Amino acid sequence: MPAVTAPEISQADLKGAGAVLVVDDEEMVRRAAVVALEHCGYTVITASNGKIATDLFKRFSGRIVLVILDLSMPVMNGEECLRALKNIEPDVPVILSSGFSESDTIQRFREHTFSGFLQKPYTAGRLAEMAKVALSSVPRKASQTSA
């Protein structure tokens, strides 16, 4: 069962606002996410690893409304970054993104609070849907979402 099930959302309902931090070591993924999210009205900040993401998160404290976080990155991986971001702002919604399976990720992150899982590769539409759902949902522990 998915961590967050996105209901059918119309194109108009995908519009959003606020700053989204996209953290991924693949430049192509970051660029595609920027295009998709900006098209929906978000301001996008990007980082190529967890260390840069943590620094940016501190710098833009209180302005970032959502984080899209890749799990496999150099310097500081997704798990370390998630922990650091939640130490700074425990309630920030974070969508984990990975090419690994959702069930493996949920198992690995069962002790962490996150707002959803985005399987790679993903479409612009799926990214926009997940962002909208995450911003309208309360973050949950993985163990709560796998039931």
Higher pLDDT, 147 or 129: 129
Chosen CATH of 15-145 out of 3.40.50.2300, 1.10.3210.10, 3.40.50.300, 1.10.3720.10: 3.40.50.2300
How open is the CA angle 70-66-141, to the nearest 5 degrees?
70
Annotated domain spans of the chain: 15-145
CB 49 within 8 A of CB 79: no
Helix, strand, coil percentages (3-state) for the chain, rounded to 5, are 40, 20, 40
Higher pLDDT, 8 or 24: 24
| 87-126 per-position pLDDT tens digit | 999 999 999 999 877 777 677 666 767 888 999 999 999 9
CB 85 within 8 A of CB 94: yes
**Confidence band (pLDDT; 50, 70, 90) for 137?**
confident
Stretch 25-49: mean pLDDT: 97
pTM recorded for the entire structure: 0.83
Q: For residues 109 and 146, what is the distance between their CA atoms, to the nearest angstrom? A: 11
How open is the CA angle 26-31-37, to the nearest 5 degrees?
125
